[in-house]
Structure 1
Amino acid sequence: MINTARQFKLRDIGSQRVNFLVGDGMNLPFADGSFDLVMSGGSTAFIDDKRKALKEYTRVTKTWGFVADINFYYKQKAPEEIIGKLNSAMNINIEPWGKDYWVNLYKETELELYYTHFNDVYVPSDDEIITYCTEMSASVTANADTQRLIKERLIELMSLFTENHRYLSYGIFVLRKRNEAEQISLFGS
């Protein structure tokens, strides 16, 4: 993924100030207060010690800076069969967290919950899945049999993800690092 990101960077004239590196979200290689914005696009869910990662995000954020995170959550319980198939396909252990899990996790931090947005995950149709998988497999330089096998596997996986999406929503969380606690409000939050 880093190599792909670096290739995209080469094509973007405005990206000279962007660098990509592989690191550990629980031990970020940056000095305290290095960034105005720390962004995680769903990777926090895959970090073993999420509280430690959030402490690291906080540590490297400047005072009055922001931490932004996007995470999926289950709006309703998915069948265990689907969770089992996902775990097997992705070689991970998906925890079926609900929205309250993430909201409460962020409330435990020293950060102010500045903005949240919640929405359902888009569920593509079977035709959209087939079109997507056809285009993706055609972009691979391979013989026709290999492309057919890639397409079949992609359809299988994308259909599984789509079935899981029927139970998912996502949350966008923006948190602010303050140097003092926010005052209570009598007339609104």
Structure 2
Amino acid sequence: MTTDALTAGIFDGLTVEDIALLDFSRLVGLVNEPNMPSGGGATIRRIIDLCRLRSGCTILEVGSNTGYTSIEFASWVDGRVIGLDINPVSVAFAEEKAARFGIDNVEFHVGDGLALPYERGRFDLVYCSNVTSFIVDHQGARDEYYRVLAPNGVLVAVPIYYHTVPPDGLRRAVGEAIGVDLIVTTQAYWTELFADPSAALLHRETYEYVRQSPRRIAEYVESVFSQPHLGNIDPVLREAAKARLTYFYELFDENLAYTRYDILIFRRNHPNPESVLHTSRQVIGE
């Protein structure tokens, strides 16, 4: 089934009142919003540069949504990429996009991060953006990531966490938007969660977000709804979906002012895990 048919079918079954109650993940799957990771494609290219993936490598993305990150990996890496997501509509969008751009070294599966449908030690790199925040059992998901990671594989996580404690009302609103009871996590929480006795933390980079203006958010919403598969939707439903997406973006933009995110790279069985005594930093401008 094409994405046009999928989208038309879903919108035909909804009312304006239904759209006003959609959570962010359902709406993203419905409109095929790119749903890129923190930092966008630059984050994925940075990971590729840091990990120096070998030819023929295998990569798993947990929480691939509409395919942005898995397709970005596949477009740069000489290997096989699998994107896994719990939403079959998002998986269908991802498959269609990869086919449209001729990316033939990526495939997408429907599945749950708490029960990955893969054998032990299959993947050279397991990547998760902020998807673990959406999974009720963080530890259980983390254990699954390591279960399918190869003996010398790399686990890469890009979690979002609170650098400053947000207002409780804002935190609860974001939790309702993403469909989970959002807890206030810290950098230390995620570093400790993803740590494992068999793996060394080789690299961490920390980033903060840049606030976006209402005008920029409105322009981005328009770009999402300019996609061809959204052209024939009932105008009333279309405006309701635009309003709902705008609400989410403005809410998330406010919330991100209290957050940061890391690129965390753990390598299993790294032969040189020892810490460095005399650390250094790059000299700039001399």
Q: Could you state the TM-score of these two structures normalised by the residue count of structure 2?
A: 0.59
**5+ residue gaps in structure 2?**
1-89, 281-286
1:51-90 aligned within 5 A? 51-90=139-178
1:125-144 aligned within 5 A? 125-139=213-227, 140=230, 141-144=232-235
2:125 to 27, 31, 37: 37
C-alpha RMSD of matched pairs (Å):
2.3
2:237 is paired with a residue whose SS is: helix
C-alpha distance 46-109 of structure 1, shift in aligned 2 (>3 A): farther
Matched, 1:23 2:114: no
- Deviation track 1:88-124 (CA, whole Å, cap 9, x = no partner) reads 2333211111111111222345321111111012321
**2:265 corresponds to which residue?**
174
- Deviation track 1:101-157 (CA, whole Å, cap 9, x = no partner) reads 111222345321111111012321111011122333454333443333332222222
Aligned partners of 1:137 and 1:148 also within 8 Å: no
1:149 to 240, 251, 263: 240
C-alpha distance 142-179 of structure 1, shift in aligned 2 (>3 A): closer
Aligned partners of 2:199 and 2:270 also within 8 Å: no
Cα deviation, residue 172, structure 1: 1.0
Aligned partners of 2:164 and 2:259 also within 8 Å: yes
Percent identity, aligned pairs only? 26
Aligned partners of 1:121 and 1:166 also within 8 Å: yes
Q: Could you state the TM-score of these two structures normalised by the residue count of structure 1?
A: 0.86
Aligned partners of 1:30 and 1:60 also within 8 Å: yes
Cα deviation, residue 187, structure 1: 4.6
Matched residue type, 2:114: M
C-alpha distance 109-86 of structure 1, shift in aligned 2 (>3 A): farther
Distance 2:251 2:223 in 1: 18
1:4 to 93, 97, 105: 93
Which has the larger displacement, 153-162 or 103-112?
103-112
Question: Where does structure 1 differ by over 4 angstroms across 4 or more consecutive aligned residues?
Answer: 183-189
Distance 1:99 1:30 in 2: 29
Aligned partners of 1:54 and 1:109 also within 8 Å: no
Distance 1:85 1:8 in 2: 32
**5+ residue gaps in structure 1?**
none
2:240 is paired with a residue whose SS is: helix
